[in-house]
Amino acid sequence: MSWRSYQNEIIFIVALLLFLGALVYKYSERANWFSSTQDKQLEYKELKRVVELQKIWGNPKIGKKVDKIKTFVTDDKITWKKEHKKLNASFKRLSPYELNKVIGEIINLPVVIRKLQIKKAGNFYEMEYQCSW
């Protein structure tokens, strides 16, 4: 038996192996392409979110929004110290209604809360608040 008698079958098997190799390569490249496009889309969404957060945190009007906290209570109940982009505030003798208003405003501000300490003293509340932006 010589290989010449099986020449057509050998050519067919080699062609079939090349075809299968090309098919596997094509599908692996296609899977890599899909995963890379998904990664790029995810990175784009993250970058877009970072830009949105930079706009929120870089807003020069945050200082004015922080000053709005003062309006919920009278001046004799507040010790207010605001320097650059930092705030140290102490509230004394807050009623539950005033405390809820102040806390609601604090939670909705785009600031970094460094310290928030609330103590109950009888029927009133005392609160220390430190933040930066």
Do residues 69 and 47 both lie within one domain? no
Supply the range of the domain harboring residue 39.
3-57
Do residues 46 and 74 both lie within one domain? no
Last residue of a domain, one of 29, 57, 85: 57
Do residues 84 and 45 both lie within one domain? no
Do residues 66 and 127 both lie within one domain? yes
Do residues 33 and 80 both lie within one domain? no
Do residues 53 and 78 both lie within one domain? no
38-78: pLDDT as tens digits: 999 999 999 999 998 888 777 788 888 888 888 888 889 99
Q: Are 83 and 99 in contact (CB under 8 A)?
A: no
* Number of domains the chain is built from: 2
d(CA 22, CA 13): 14
Last residue of a domain, one of 28, 57, 86: 57
Do residues 30 and 83 both lie within one domain? no
Do residues 39 and 67 both lie within one domain? no
Do residues 78 and 53 both lie within one domain? no
Do residues 13 and 42 both lie within one domain? yes
Do residues 68 and 126 both lie within one domain? yes
Tell me the whole-structure pTM to 2 decimals. Answer: 0.57
72-128: pLDDT as tens digits: 888 899 999 989 889 999 999 999 999 999 999 999 888 899 999 999 989 999 999
Do residues 40 and 84 both lie within one domain? no
In the numeric block, the tokens 């790029």 are attached to 40
Q: Are 73 and 67 in contact (CB under 8 A)?
A: no
